[in-house]
Amino acid sequence: MNKILIANWKANPATLAEAKALFALENKKNIIICPPAIYIPTLHATRYTLHDLGAQDVFWEAGAHTGQTSVAMLKQFGVTHVLVGHSERRALGETDEMINKKLKATLTAGMIPILLIGEQEKNDAVRQDILIDQLTRDLEGVSAEDATKIHYTFEPAWAISTTSGNKAESLDNIIAGVEMMKDILQKSFKLQASSFKMLYGASVNGENTQEILSRPELSGAVVGGASLRAEEFKKMVEITAKL
Ligand code: PGA
């Protein structure tokens, strides 16, 4: 499998037993499972070692920070990737300055940040400004070498499947958004566009995986709701493995 599927379980499933069952299903390379942090040590201890473990969040320091989890704690349990800047965390008050610190801490620890970028409300006229603003602030002080390690995910928050009836952004707009992001990155870091790994997230499911991930501009997808539906996710893995 060359393209990447990242499963963002969010605050699901309700029990460790269900998490273990889901985790065991798709044991393939280039699948990154991001469970709730409390399940990570147990899942890490299972024999399923082909797919990678990701975290949904991290804090940039250890010490007197009640409720937080440091990079070193995650690394100890085999975490290789960290979601940074998810819109659900931004909506809770996470600022670009905090995202920037999380991104740098993750990179310094040798893990790969999956940086999520995109607008909260649909408004094509301001999309480019929002992408420029988020990327510039989130990547402040990140070296060009580190910038090429990040998985950049275009994820328009309004298209996330949690609200029933939501659909993925149109394919043309997904590609246009990803191209905008690449252009911004290329100019900031003075590197070729092909140096950056671009992904899409929001309402990717069994029906649209083929269409979306066939596009050469995309290296993968972040999947929320559908990654918890075992049969559907299995189908998505099979489709992706053939691309
Ligand atoms: P979704 O969620 O696939 O359910 O739209 C994606 C995400 O929030 O990362």
- How many helical (H) and strand (E) elements, i.e. helices and strands, does the chain have? 10, 8
Q: For 32-37, which contacts have Cβ atoms below 8 Å and span 24 or more sequence positions?
A: 32/4, 32/5, 32/6, 32/7, 32/80, 32/81, 32/114, 33/7, 33/9, 33/227, 34/6, 34/7, 34/8, 34/9, 34/81, 34/83, 35/9, 36/9, 36/10, 36/11, 36/12, 37/69, 37/74
Q: Which residue among the candidates 26, 119, 155, 169 is catalytic per the annotation? A: 155
Tell me which of 51, 86, 119, 169 is the catalytic residue: 86
Instruction: Provide the pLDDT for residue 106.
Output: 98
Nearest to 115 by CA among 106, 127, 128: 106
Q: Which residues pair with 183 in a beta bridge?
A: none
Following DSSP, what letter does each residue of 68-123 receive, concatenated? Answer: --BHHHHHHTTEEEEEES-HHHHTTT--HHHHHHHHHHHHHTT-EEEEEE--SS--
Q: Please tell me the residue having the least CA distance from ligand 1 atom 7.
A: 224
Nearest-CA residue for atom 1 of ligand 1: 224
User: What's the residue count for the chain?
Assistant: 243
What is the residue-level pLDDT of the chain in tens, covering all 243 positions? Answer: 799 999 999 999 999 999 999 998 877 889 999 999 999 999 999 877 788 999 999 999 999 999 999 999 999 999 999 999 999 999 999 999 999 999 999 999 999 999 999 999 998 889 999 999 999 999 999 999 999 999 999 999 999 999 888 999 999 999 999 999 999 999 999 999 999 999 999 999 999 999 999 999 999 999 999 999 999 999 999 999 999
Residues 203, 173: contact at Cβ < 8 Å? Answer: no
Is the distance from the beta carbon of residue 168 to the nearest atom of ligand 1 less than 6 Å?
A: no
DSSP sequence for 57-77:
--BS--SS-TT--BHHHHHHT
Task: Give the global pTM.
Answer: 0.96
Closest C-alpha among 218, 129, 212, 126 to residue 179: 218
Residue 35 to residue 230: CA distance in whole angstroms: 14
- The residue nearest atom 9 of ligand 1, judged by CA position, is 224
| Two tokens, residue 139 | 């990547």
**151: annotated active-site residue:** no
State the pLDDT at residue 59.
Answer: 98
Question: Catalytic annotation on 155?
Answer: yes
Q: Is ligand 1 within 6 A of the CB of residue 225?
A: yes
DSSP state of 49: -
Question: Which of these, 31, 92, 99, lies nearest to 59 by C-alpha position?
Answer: 99
Q: Which two tokens stand for residue 108?
A: 């310094």
pLDDT at residue number 47: 73
Report the half-sphere exposure of 33 (CA within 13 A, side-chain side): 30
List residues bridging with 220 in a β-sheet.
4, 199
